Structure 1
């Protein structure tokens, strides 16, 4: 489609410059109708694409309708006897075209920013607009104002289009400076460049009317600008319809966006030079202008250096000099986006130092810092200059490998890093040896999001740590299988339920402070016939990705409800994947299982995560239906996701589960208890139950009790157990 429109654009452009004015006007009109017609269809298709959110649908519908107004402009001007002087009906259509584009531009979602960043972006956008206003004044308004005999109508006719263009430029500059979703980044750039051509064409027409009102103009240059603008706008709509990569849309900023204010300064001073050159007394004007430019350039260069230094500090780990977590996430996201466009492979190595804690505890923090700094040098020496090494925190490091080619090349890098640790590090004259555990994850073009890739590397790293031995790295792809004709983990998982390879363990939930058994949480394990027990953090994301999580989740629910019949009065918690909530029959299937197994709905608790609640209305409808049946809903890992109080007041939430990370922070201090205490107070105000997860010490249990906690679970009380052992606990409690 784009090739056809591009061909029509080139043909129209050639005819405009080569043919007679009459033929050029016809070619111009046909080129506009072709571009706008295709743009209208492409805009509607972009608005109607599956998975497009409501806001994006509105944006592309507005853009599509704006194309209709441009078609109306051409038709109204072409009608025999039509009024050609401003304001004409065609002018109204043309103004509507720009106004709709302005509204659409202001509706584009922006990257998250602090209040200071938002104010800076507005000031920068205004700088761009002021630069355009200088052009507008010098080319159009100034000459008209100097001619006192010019009527206001003539001034408006010459200036209204460029002024509207400046409003559009302001909106687009705002998006370029703040950034937007990755799916709309290229269309925004095309719209921005097209708007510059629109402004250039309108300013050219206004300039010619102001300076040479009596000279005949053939319109070729403004025809060319308008044709180019429409081609670029249509290309933006077509580009929005390109196949998505499958990755989540991530907000990001344009790398060149920060240069827009400097470009605006350049335009302003360039205009001053031109004005000075046209003045009769050039000497003082030229000298002052050049001096002003020199001062501004020096100040701008100083600001650039200060900004670069500030950015470097903000993105660098202060101890090791490596990139920090923020910089790592930024580079990884950008690398995956670039790999999706260019067909390149990106890899992540997650590196954990073994033995750092012992050095830190026995030799002191100074020695620990020296060890981290020395290891950072090893890491930096083991990678190429185009790759990135980062310290994520503590003794955890990561590496981003761009265009790595395949797993073998990533393993070669891991081998170099591991080999570097064979040599002892000298700290205060004492040789210190450390080892590493490295997890490797590789993403093909447009295959994984940054979070998914990092999660895979994390799984592989812990596998390497548990495995031990001479090989100090593990690759996630190897964990998935598929080598030497062996079935992949995906293939095995598709048959795991039917093959009876899944089993349930139950972790007790107890009351505080007495530890009385009041419930259990069902936890699924996969007993793989060749690989042994596979952790859920490996196979649950895989089940979601290949579409078997629904079958797996219903099996877990059915087994848990069946086992619960042996435990009268005991509450049973079952985890629900966000993907299950997206299924139309979810609430129907849950109610059918509850009835078929004889489960008491009041003793069943479905645990959902906060991320599952930010989707459309369907998941919320499921929760309401199940709540009406008496089934209770728990919000799992509360405080680690989106944490909107709206969910707690508008949805049928009964229980908050305090994330284990907040429980681990309980150290007897007010700071360590702040979050857990806040959640407990909030739950009491809203009348919600609470369960603290991950309680591993008696001290944590005591502190939770003092804070008002009434329920908890964790290794301090009991590890996950088979159903038979839970039955023994229930029997002992009743006896």
Structure 2
């Protein structure tokens, strides 16, 4: 690790040294040039020589940036092409210096001219390869119109200054004209590439260096146009003022390459909006073009007029087309998610309102998919919001690729997305789309050096009746989505009325209020003499449609919706009231949510007072997981319960994460071993030894030990032999209704 850091620090020092040397070199040259020292030939020689080290610097730094491993793959590919373009400049400047300084010849075209021209297509390709943000089709059209607007305006300027005069020159042969025109035409191509880079959105990892590249190209274009213009009106000599722009462009290339390397080291990857000035670039170009048209309006001659008229016509058409797209863009701003480019919640609701207002057609289905990302928050917390944004953008792209063009895809907020599928042939088509989405989202997202894996849970709801509005349809999809999450995530679920937690929650609360909840009781036996030592109260839901529901069918729902507090109060009050007739304690389960309530002790005291049951005849069974973490508030509540005379028992011990030594800090008197620990004590030696060790450890801590799930006589005998205090299970006595419990308690032999 230390060697890697030393190497990286050495690379930074090398790049900084080259960049600083380039700045000093150009600064010294400008100071020398400003003094006017030396002859015309001296200025030519010095100027030509200065180009070579600057070209060597920006080529070497570009290769260094392209080879950086932390740079995004697309950006590396672009910078390798840009490095090749820089290499063309290096060769061109070297050949130019050799021809003019060493060989003292100025032929046209020279080999240097061909390398200068080769720079144009290679640099054009490199600029366009720089990665940008994901865009919609309409964004691509708007970008193309903006770029062509700038290009048309630049064409008018080029035509007036250089292209028109070149074609108007009658003494020059056609081949020479074409070679002369190649340089300004190449510059026009670079203007289009620079406009594309400036006007589109890019990642911040390339946006800053690309802006410097764009400035360098602008300096080159100004120098090239000036060079051709001077050549047409008297002749150019080395060391003239256009060289100031060329040299400035060379230094900007050095800075761009160095800056790209530094961006790669910081690995700052985030979507960057266009700067405010770039938005006005097409309009600024129009102003310049029409200003030029006004200047030459009185100038006679065919060469400035012909091309400018054509450019003006094209420019006017492009402006009109641009305005059309600008109006459409303004209309969509209020209904588009700025990060992903998808529809936002407002547009999704609007589309749902339209869909649900239409009549239902035979053999045609409308479906809504609600997509919620799984494990998005841990990724966002671990890698930062930039990584979260990258995932959200990738999810938007995956969703668009998984549906038809006419389907609506939107982001509702956070990591929640919605898809509206219209005019489907059947339910299977919607389910196939949901599966395609799940498969697409399983592909990892590349973020810097990391591969981030993300999955989703998808809820699917169908419009089956004309009375279902958009909000109801979205709610149904939400219910199905949470069902998919509870089933294990990374899957989809189809809405059914029985899945609707809100309806079931209302039904559960209504059952509590109207007496549809009942208690069954299961005795607990002392293994030494088989007498009943306690009776556990177990709640059941007497459902009018589904019959008698066990706790596993509704306890999770009650806990999720908060109805567990109301249900817990009802169970405790009913059990205390009925336990007045019991010959032993009554045990009541307390959920984690109940145990966390600050008023728990007050509530238990009130119920004991209302029912008249002494606190010493009540045992509260606490879920093992509810006891962790142990804090002063939890201990205070447990101490308060003990002060009422209530005994405390740890239920389902061994299923969660509590250890026996943790129980030393809590005022509990009993542990109930989970059934998975006692099921095989009569057939499996390892299971027997583990249960025996737990029983011994419990006794060592002064706790009574109760075995759950005692189903067989041999199992009960093994538990008795290892010294277990009490047992409970179907093998001893199943849960009984109050009537059957009374019958059993009334029979001394059975009791």
TM-score range, shorter chain: 0.3 to 0.5
Larger radius of gyration: 2
